[in-house]
Amino acid sequence: METISFDHAGLVKLYQQGYFDADAYLDKQTLLLVWDCHDLGLKNCRSLILDTKRGIIISDKETTRLVNQFIKQQPVGLLLTRALVGSFAKKTPCLPYVWGKILLVPLSGYTRHATSWVRLDHVYYDYFSDPDHITFIFDHDDKTRYVLPINKKTYLSNLKTTTTIYYKLHQIIHEINADFSLDLPNDHSLCNLEKQLDTLSLTAFLDDYLTMIITLIYRESGVTSASEVKLIKDRLKQRYDHL
C-alpha cells in the first residue's frame, strides 16, 4: 500500500506533482480534502486540493475562501448548522458543513481562519497511527493511505459535532417524512393545481422563511420596507451563513 505523508517533505512532493489553477474550486462530487498550505512558503500555494478526478490542484486561495465558495453553491448555508449547534453546545464549536451526503469536516479548531478540511463521507477507513497523526483511506482508492498531522482531541471534538448535526438533520427529515407522502396526490383537482404552481427550491424557501422572521421581529421597531428587511437579511447571511 502506498503511503502519502502530509508532513513538510510530503507536501512539497505533492506540490511538485500538482498543477496550479487560478480558478480552483471544491467539487461537490470528487473533493477528498483541502489542505492549508499558507505557511509553507510555496509559490502560489495557499491550499492544496486533493480530488479524485482532477488530481492535485494548487490554489492561491485560502481554504476559508474555497470552503465559503463551496457552501455558497449548496442549497443550504451555515445558518441551519448554527441553529442546530446552538441546541446542544453552550460554546460554538468549529463548524463543519453537513448537508445530504456531504460531511465536510475541519481538521483543526479554527474554522474562521485558514485550516484543513476532509470529506468524511468519502473516507473508507481511518485510524490514529499515533496521538499526533491520523490515517485516511478514501473510498475511491483502497491502495493508498494518507497520513495527516492532527490534534486528536480537536479532531474528535469536530467529529462529534459533525455526527450530532448529521443525526439531528435525519431526525428532522424523518419527522417531515412521517407527516408527508412524497407520492403525487390522487385528487385530480390537486394534481391540476400542482401543475399551475411555480417550482420552489429549498434555497428560495429558506430565504423566504428568513425574510418572514426578520419582518416579524423588526416590525415593532419600525422596520417595514422590503429594502430594509432585505438589508438586514443580507447582513445576517453575510455574517452567519458561511465561515
How many Å apart are CA 158 and CA 116, to the nearest integer? 12
Can you say whether the dihedral through the CA atoms of 51, 53, 57, 62 is positive or negative? negative
How many Å apart are CA 231 and CA 210, to the nearest integer? 12
* Max Cα–Cα distance, the chain, nearest Å: 68
Q: Across residues 202-226, what is the average pLDDT?
A: 74
For 151-203, how does the pLDDT look when each residue is reduced to its tens digit (9 = 90+)? 999 999 999 999 999 998 888 888 888 887 766 666 655 556 555 555 557 77
Res 93 pLDDT > 70: no
Q: What residues contact 94, with CB distance under 8 A and at least 6 apart? A: 106, 108, 109, 110, 111, 154, 157, 158, 161
Q: What is the structure's pLDDT at 32?
A: 97
Contact 55, 18 (CB under 8 A): yes
Q: What is the structure's pLDDT at 233?
A: 74
pTM flag (> 0.85): no
Residue 38's identity, in one-letter code, is H
Q: Across residues 65-83, what is the average pLDDT?
A: 90
Alpha helix positions (H), the chain: 8-17, 63-72, 79-86, 152-179, 188-196, 202-218, 226-240
For 114-148, how does the pLDDT look when each residue is reduced to its tens digit (9 = 90+)? 899 999 999 999 999 898 999 999 998 989 999 99
Q: What is the structure's pLDDT at 78?
A: 87
